[in-house]
Amino acid sequence: MTLPRVQPIIPTRRAAPFDGAGWLFDVKYDGFRALCYLEQGRALLISRNGKPFSRFTALGAEVAAELEVDEAILDGEVIAADETGRPRFWGLVRGNITPAYVAFDLLWLNGTDLRPLSLGERRAALRGLLPKGLAMIAEAVSVEGRGCELFELIRAHDLEGIVAKDSPIPTAPAPSGSRSKTRLQPGRRPGRAVQPGARVEDMMGGAPGPLDRGGKRLDRAVSP
């Protein structure tokens, strides 16, 4: 069958971080938003404007080879991470760092439209789909409920920001003006570096994947 074309929800901007039960807070990666269409052993990465990412054809082929599915639609971001796990946008643009795909949603799986499900249910399905320990594809780092703490951790390490998602709200099957996603970015500080002694690889930690290298994952660094 032909997979449906999906219009991704574009986050609205918010001035300040917040906490909230039922909200999922993802790390905002400094890359290109991309829907990944998997069908018949092939993957096509599509921009949020509906244009194919032909420059990432090799990455799509790697993703398709690793995911054992007949068909699926993932929502995520193409990034390029350095040896510490820090995203490097210009490394992605210039093509001098190997790209990877960070997935934060699973919208379709083997003939079933998952968009009527809650985000929490879809993320659980995504977690079950993604192989562990791969450098070219990983689940986005996230925490539940504690947006302020995650935001401060992101700001302390001068990263891109966070995206807040209202977990119980399903994703509409058709384009909509849903405001269930909110983007928050720390103010950029010219010349500001990571705090002395605080390595991004230690903050992110875990299995070898995008923003997931070293000894301690970012989501575990946020206290319960």
Domain containing residue 177: CATH number: 3.30.470.30
pTM for the model stands at: 0.80
Q: 146 in a domain, yes or no? A: yes
Q: What domain range includes position 156? A: 12-221
pLDDT at 82: 84
Taking the C-alpha atoms of residue 91 and residue 29, their distance in angstroms, rounded to an integer, is: 13
Tokens linked to 215: 């000894």
C-beta separation of 141 from 85 below 8 A: no
Model confidence pLDDT, tens digit, residues 8-21: 888 888 888 899 98
Q: 80 in a domain, yes or no? A: yes
* Mean pLDDT calculated for residue range 48-73: 94
Taking the C-alpha atoms of residue 223 and residue 150, their distance in angstroms, rounded to an integer, is: 10
Q: 2 in a domain, yes or no? A: no
Number of domains in the chain: 1
Q: 5 in a domain, yes or no? A: no
Model confidence pLDDT, tens digit, residues 65-122: 999 899 999 999 999 988 777 888 999 999 999 999 999 999 999 999 999 999 999 9
Q: 4 in a domain, yes or no? A: no
Query: Strand order in 142-144's β-sheet?
Result: 12-13, 181-184, 161-166, 23-28, 142-144
